[in-house]
Amino acid sequence: MATRTAGQKEFLCILPDKPNVLDIRKRVKSIHYEGIQPLIKSGRLVAGGAMFDTHPGEGEDALFKGSMIVYTGENEEEVRVLIDNDIYARSGVWDLDRVQIVPEYKSAVREPMD
């Protein structure tokens, strides 16, 4: 796990999808996962996942409504660059006009689901 430097804070980011982008999301998903690996290794992306309209049942397709990511950085502008450089932003999946960046955030618990 990477060590954070002095001055870095956590930013909770809510990244809504644009309407009708499921096909684009699926097409660039592997590029997204590949692109976030260096951010995870460096400690810049410390938590994240998909947001759904409802949790999909077994065998059902997920109805995505966006993503939630916790980035670390020194300021909101630095985090905005990380968001803007993600393939989901560049390919038009995320609705960048509706992104919420919460700078007053600090995670107390991070436990992955099985």
Structure tokens belonging to residue 67: 């993503």
The pLDDT of residue 7: 73
Question: Phi and psi of 83, rounded to 5°?
Answer: -65, -50
Structural domains of the chain ordered from first start: 9-55+62-105 (3.30.70.1060)
Question: Are the C-beta atoms of 46 and 70 separated by less than 8 Å?
Answer: yes
Predicted confidence (pLDDT) per residue in 89-113, tens digit:
999 999 999 999 999 898 888 877 7
**Block residue for tokens 């996942």:** 49
Pairing state between β 9-16 and 64-73: antiparallel
Structure tokens belonging to residue 76: 């909101």
Question: Are the C-beta atoms of 64 and 51 separated by less than 8 Å?
Answer: yes
Predicted confidence (pLDDT) per residue in 20-77, tens digit:
999 999 999 999 999 999 999 999 999 999 999 998 899 998 899 999 999 999 999 9
- Give pTM, 2 decimals: 0.88
